[in-house]
Amino acid sequence: MSQLSILEFPDPRLRTRAEPVHTFDAKLKQLVADMFETMYAANGVGLAATQVDVHQRVLVADMSDDREHPLALINAQIIEKEGSQVYQEGCLSFPGLYADVTRALKVKVRAQDVDGQEIIVEVEGPLAVCIQHELDHLDGKVFVDYLSALKRTLLLKRLEKQRKQAATA
């Protein structure tokens, strides 16, 4: 396994729409393993392939405290949504930034596992938020897109200030 580089906003590659996976092989399994290693090393709870400059419909997530519930979804699609929740989201592509985003409370997802077998996952709460967030990445959308223009501008200015401070430190 190896850690991958995480793209940071405003890198235009984050806006790339990911393509479906057609080949379920050792290369895909290696990508998934590397994505988990990268996510865990960055203290993240979810990571989309787009964020590591691989434009395939692959996402990984693990919301557990002990990192014992890894979930890899290939070619995932939400087939049912229910309810609404506001959750403070962060993103490995926006280090140190958080904002309240409204998303579905529960989602039912059809996907494939790393072997190409179809799976159905029904989740709610924070894991539902995580999956919706990562699926957005695969569609070239980022969480700040959900914010008002004013909030988005303020957050992005804060991100730029943090980067300038880090560069001079």
pLDDT in tens, 115-125: 999 999 999 99
Is 134 a residue of the active site?
yes
Task: List, in order, residues 6 or more apart from 144 with CB less than 8 Å away.
Answer: 9, 94, 97, 99, 152, 155, 156
pLDDT at 102: 97
Q: What domains are defined for the chain?
A: 12-74+87-100+133-168 (3.90.45.10)
Residue among 80, 122, 134, 160 flagged as catalytic: 134
- 51-89 residue pLDDT tens: 999 999 999 999 999 999 999 999 999 999 999 999 999
Under a CB-based contact definition with an 8 Å cutoff, are residues 154 and 148 in contact? no
Task: List, in order, residues 6 or more apart from 168 with CB less than 8 Å away.
Answer: none
For residue 43, is it left (φ>0), alpha (ψ between -120 and 50) or beta? left
- Three-state SS at 139: coil
Q: Which residue type, as a one-letter code, is found at position 106?
A: K
Residue-averaged pLDDT of the chain? 96
What is the value of pTM for the model shown? 0.95
